[in-house]
Amino acid sequence: MDDDEETALEELEEEPVILPPAPMGPWFWAVMAMIGILLLMILYGQVQGITHPIEVNLTDTQWTLSSYADAQGTMVPVKDGAGSNISFGLPGDGTLRGISGCTAYSYQYVRNATSIHISDGSIISGSCDDPGTGNATSLYFSDLTRASGLRFRSGQIFVSDATGRPLLVFDLAGT
C-alpha cells in the first residue's frame, strides 16, 4: 500500500459513521396507545356519576321544576306561573308531594341511586284560569308517571324515561 492509500484509509476510519434514526417499532406504538387509553380513562372518569352512581339524599329538600318534556318529547322551560315543585318523604315513607300549577299531588315512589318508580298517585285539582298552565300541568304529571331514571349534577335532578329520554329537570329550591 502506498502512502496515499494509507492516508485515505486513516481518514475513513477517523470520520464518524452516521446511522439513520431507528424506525419507530411496535414497542413505541404500544406505549403511545397505552398513553392514549390512559388519557381517555382520565377524561372519562372526570364526568360526574359515570364511574359510580351518586347517592343524593332527596328528603328534607324542595325541588323546583325548571323544564319538562312536551308531547313531542322536546324539553320546554317552565313559564312563570306554571311552576311545579316536588319534595320527597322521609326514608321508609316513600311519598313524594308537590304542587304543579294549580294542582296539589301526592305519589308513592321507590328509588335507588339511578332509578325511580312512581305509582299510586292522588291529585287534588285546583282551578286554573290559564289553559296553558293546565296543559303544562297535564304534561308534568304524564312525565312524572313515566319517570324511570335519575341523575344528579350540580344541584339538579334529571329525570328520564325507561329509554333514557329526558322528561323533567328540577333545581334545588333556594339555589
CA distances from 56 to 46, 114, 139 (A): 18, 10, 26
Q: How far apart are CA 98 and CA 169, in angstroms?
A: 15
The winner for highest mean pLDDT among 54-58, 95-99, 110-114, 162-166 is: 162-166
Of 109 and 124, which is predicted with more confidence?
109
Alpha carbons within 13 A on the beta-carbon side of 85: 12
Question: For the segment 21-69, what is each residue's pLDDT rounded down to a tens digit?
Answer: 777 788 888 889 999 998 887 776 655 445 455 566 777 788 888 998 8
Alpha carbons within 13 A on the beta-carbon side of 172: 12
Give yes or no for residue 118 having a pLDDT over 70: yes
pLDDT at res. 1: 55
- Please state the rounded mean pLDDT for residues 15-19: 68
Output 147-150 pairs: Cβ under 8 A, ≥24 positions apart: 147/116, 147/117, 147/118, 148/115, 148/116, 148/117, 149/114, 149/115, 149/116, 150/111, 150/113, 150/114, 150/115, 150/116
Q: What is the CATH code of the structural domain delimited by 62-172?
A: 2.40.128.270
- Cα 27 from chain centroid (whole Å): 37
Beta bridge partners of 152: 157
Q: Which amino acid makes up residue 74?
A: T
pLDDT at res. 33: 93
pTM of the model: 0.64
Percent of the chain with pLDDT strictly greater than 90? 6
pLDDT at res. 34: 93
Question: For the segment 59-99, what is each residue's pLDDT rounded down to a tens digit?
Answer: 778 888 899 888 888 898 887 656 788 888 876 678 888 88
